[in-house]
Amino acid sequence: MISVEEARAYILKHFHPLEAERVDLLSALDRVLAEDIISDLDVPPFNNSAMDGYAVRAQDIASASREKPVTLRVIGNIAAGYVAQNRVEPGTAMRIMTGAPLPEGADAVVRFEETSEGVDAKGTREDAKRRESVEILKAMQRGDNTRAAGEDMRKGNLVLSRGTVLRAPAIGVLATVGKKQVAVHRRPRVAILATGDELVSADEPLAPGKIRNSNEYSNAAAVLKAGGIPIQLGIARDNIADLTAKIRAGLDADVDLFLTSAGVSVGDYDIVKDVLGAEGEMHFWQVKMKPGKPLAFGVLRGKKPVPILGLPGNPVSSIVSFEIFARPAILTMLGKNKFTRPSVTAQLLEDATNSADRRNFIRVIVEKKNGEYVARTTGEQGSGILTSISKANGLLVMPEDLTFIRAGSEVEIQMLDWPEFEA
Ligand code: AMP
Ligand code: MG
């Protein structure tokens, strides 16, 4: 038996970030930037107002207060998107809207609320625009309520570096610096092949002895979630001819990773081993983990070498093995280099046992109760109990040599999913 770390380290040596492609901004969401982005302008490009109010010269209103207002002559109105044609001269002010360029001469903005316009707010907007004078009720420092050119980004500076995962705000940064397309690492194409004479597809009627093929869908969904492109190859039967044909069909689909499920343990019909052995260089491991002990990994000989992970057949084993081995491989190809899920410290609400002498991935539901995280198992933990993992949002990882954790203990839970919760 080999450890989880040994298996993973061996597998991940075979994966590298895929080449870059140029995509439209929205297709770049959650993907990894493959170029440095340099700003082609100062952002904001000009000094502008941070408030709706009056653009003034701070020195003109240094003595202003509610008791002793300073009256200024209003010489204009500036909306966002327009540039004032005249200057703010001593004793004058211009009405200005948020985002409008600060007019020449002005060095501060007084919010409407701190002028007579805010206090005696009678009349219409048009009346306000026609106002000939305004009383300023508060002194300002130079720069108050203004935004300086370049305070966000500087022309010529690096604003996003290669390797950045592009979340929604970063997509906004790209738009700000005028990019409509951007270089990101290509998404891996991942072939998914279920194997087994007992399988029928989800839309077929069941016959005696048959079960529905869930692994194809749980694996394809997990590929999508991780950022890959699933290529569903359907079901290969437990015979050499069919399996060989389906493997070759997958290779023809130009995939970057091949995932199979089942047929890698020691049953009579576990011929996946034989076929993979013939189509590539394979390892058949027993990994010190539960669920997910049987695992195959190797490289298929296609037009190009294609790494293949033979996941176990049991639905939970397949999902957990995907999580531990396939997901980091996909993330690596996407250009990501961090794989660890966020974890929380939670109070375990029931005893947990591990008699397997393997690392036990116990499926749990983590909730916040009275301000504290608590975790309870999802019930029966058999590797065939698909609902044990579909209900879970986290895994309690029990080390190989730990046999018992008492209810009430603080445990670290690896979150699989972090859904929104009711506050
Ligand atoms: P095997 O590794 O072929 O011995 O399969 C282990 C268990 O997983 C058996 O109970 C299979 O019926 C089940 N199994 C295999 N493939 C799938 C699949 N695609 N969907 C659901 N269960 C499966
Ligand atoms: Mg089988």
Nearest CA to ligand 1 atom 5: 313
Q: Tell me the CATH number at 140.
A: 2.170.190.11
Q: Residue 235 belongs to a domain with what CATH number?
A: 3.40.980.10
Residue 160 in any domain: the answer is: yes
Assess if residue 421 is contained within a domain.
no
Tell me whether strands 199-200 and 211-212 are parallel, antiparallel or unpaired. parallel
Q: Kindly state whether residues 170 and 125 are assigned to the same domain.
A: no
> Residues 213, 317: one domain?
yes
- Relative to the CA of 269, which ligand 1 atom is closest? 3
Model pTM score: 0.95
- Judge if 291 and 409 occupy the same domain: no
423 inside domain: no
Which candidate, 193, 296, 208, places its Cα nearest to that of 242?
Answer: 193
Name the domain boundary from 120, 147, 174.
147
Ligand 1 atom 14, closest CA? 313
Q: Which residue, judged by its Cα, is nearest atom 15 of ligand 1?
A: 313
Is the preceding omega at residue 44 within 30 degrees of 0, hence cis? yes
CA of 239, nearest ligand number: 2
Q: Ligand 1 centroid to 313 CA: how many Å?
A: 4
Q: Which of 313, 333, 353 marks a domain boundary?
A: 333
Domain match, 288 and 170 both: no
205 & 325 share domain: yes
State if residue 198 touches ligand 1 by the CB under 6 angstroms criterion: yes
User: Do residues 288 and 3 lie in contact, with contact meaning Cβ atoms separated by under 8 Å?
Assistant: yes
Residue type at position 236: A
Query: What separation in Å is there between the alpha carbon of 127 and the centre of ligand 1?
Result: 77
For the CA of 264, the closest atom of ligand 1 is 2
List the one residue out of 241, 227, 234 whose CA is nearest residue 17: 227
Do 177 and 245 lie in one domain? The reply is no
Cα–Cα separations (whole angstroms), residue 103 to 66, 93, 216 = 26, 10, 63
Contact 80, 96 (CB under 8 A): no
- 3 state DSSP class of 243: helix
pLDDT of residue 128: 82
pLDDT tens series, the chain, 423 aa: 999 999 999 999 999 999 999 999 999 999 999 999 999 999 999 999 999 999 999 999 999 999 999 999 999 999 999 999 999 999 999 999 999 999 999 999 999 999 999 876 667 778 888 889 999 999 999 999 999 999 999 999 999 999 999 999 999 999 999 999 999 999 999 999 999 999 999 999 999 999 999 999 999 999 999 999 999 999 999 999 999 999 999 999 999 999 999 988 877 767 888 899 999 999 999 999 999 999 999 999 989 999 999 999 999 999 999 999 999 999 999 999 999 999 999 999 999 999 889 999 999 999 999 999 999 999 999 999 999 999 999 999 999 999 999 999 999 999 999 878 776
249 domain residue, yes or no: yes
Residue 300's pLDDT is: 97
| Strand 404-405 relative to strand 352-353, pairing | antiparallel
Q: Which atom of ligand 1 is nearest to the CA of 314?
A: 8
What's the CATH number where 176 sits?
Answer: 3.90.105.10
* Same-domain pairing of 309 and 193: yes
Region of 234 (left: φ > 0; alpha: ψ -120 to 50; beta: rest) is left
Q: Are 330 and 228 in contact (CB under 8 A)?
A: yes
Domain region containing 178? 24-43+152-185
In a domain, 422, yes or no: no
Select from 195, 201, 215, 243 the residue to mutate for testing ligand 1; criterion: most ligand atoms less than 8 Å from CB: 215
Kindly state the tokens that stand for 290.
Answer: 């539960």
Counting the structural domains of the chain, the total is 4
Q: Which CATH number goes with the domain that contains 383?
A: 2.40.340.10
Does one domain contain both 117 and 193?
Answer: no
Helical (H) or strand (E) element with 116? helix 116-119
Asked if residue 56 belongs to a domain, the reply is yes
Distances (CA, A) of 162 to 20, 32, 334, 337, 410: 11, 8, 12, 12, 39
φ and ψ of 208, to 5 deg: -55, 135
Are residues 177 and 191 located together in one domain of the fold?
no
420 is a domain residue: no
- 219 and 260 Cβ atoms separated by less than 8 Å: no
Q: Is residue 265 part of a domain?
A: yes
User: Which residue puts its alpha carbon closest to atom 16 of ligand 1?
Assistant: 313
Clarify whether residues 380 and 403 are in a common domain. Answer: yes
CA of 251 to the centre of ligand 2 (A): 22
Same domain, 312 and 371: no
List Cβ neighbours of 123 (8 Å cut-off, separation of 6 or more): none
Beta bridge partners of 297: 283, 309
Is residue 112 domain-shared with residue 177, that is, in the same domain? Answer: no
